Amino acid sequence: MSDLKLEGKVALVTGAGRGLGRAYALHLAKLGADVVVNDISLKAHEEYDEELTSESVPAEIEAMGRRALGMESDVTDRDQVEAMVEQIDKEFGQLDILVNNAGGALFGRLEFKPMFDLNFHGTVHCCEAVSEIMKRQRSGKIVNVGSQAGLQGGTGFSYSTAKAAVIHYTRCLAKELGPHNVNVNCIAPGWILSSRAVAAGRNEGETKKNLEDRIALGRLGMPEDCAKVIEFLVTDLSDYVTGQTITVCGGAVLF
């Protein structure tokens, strides 16, 4: 039971119906947290044939003995986000952890508006809504999800710019919420084998080899590699860490 570092805590993970978000939600539940699983569809795993151990991610969490709440909300819609957070407050009376995972390079390299709506504005909407509860509590941990693309130029123009905005917003919000005892940090994953990436061929043939040749540790990342860094950022191990971006890339020095 000593591993239940988050027992008594409530976490919200966006985009958690599959992939990386699912990995984060399950990992937080394993650490003892009750978890609100948000996605635009709680059947999102079906799109990439991701195998679940139950019919949905909330059901997987409940099978672990934790309380779970599934909420289908579009983070690009401020009203939907505010309604979601209000319901969480009513159901749990607290909200200790926010992981802003919803996002992705789902649009063309020059389609700035939809890319920013999903990756940047969705993050801002959730942070603004959740921060009111955390300020009231005088405690909280927010983890935004950027990307290695947001730290480098020339990799998916609109996506890179949107993720760079997330990284800088993290620094700004950390300064604003620090006096309220709320930590705000960011992770910047590299080439991770999410279900979407696997479906797109990232783990096959020449694509896999070319990427591995550019990674110091010589392998592509797994969702759990990112989840372990999330663990650091939402537990007391990082109480004196805020405004930071931690790269989770295996040393992708040529990214």
DSSP states of 142-185 as a string?
EEEE--GGGGSSSSSHHHHHHHHHHHHHHHHHHHHHGGGTEEEE
Threshold 0.75, pTM exceeds:
yes
Structural domains in the chain plus CATH codes: 10-194+223-244 (3.40.50.720)
Q: What is the pLDDT of residue 1?
A: 42
Sheet containing strand 245-248, strands side by side: 68-72, 34-39, 10-13, 97-100, 140-145, 182-189, 245-248
pLDDT digits (tens, 9 = 90+) for 55-73: 999 999 999 999 999 999 9
* Residue 60 DSSP SS3: helix
**Which residues belong to the active site?**
159
Q: What is the pLDDT of residue 155?
A: 64
72, two tokens: 């289908």
Q: What is the pLDDT of residue 255?
A: 59
pLDDT digits (tens, 9 = 90+) for 191-212: 999 999 999 999 999 999 999 9
172, two tokens: 């700004």
Q: What is the pLDDT of residue 90?
A: 98
> Whose structure tokens read 């409530």?
10
Low-confidence ranges of the chain (pLDDT < 50): 1
Rg (CA), the chain: 17
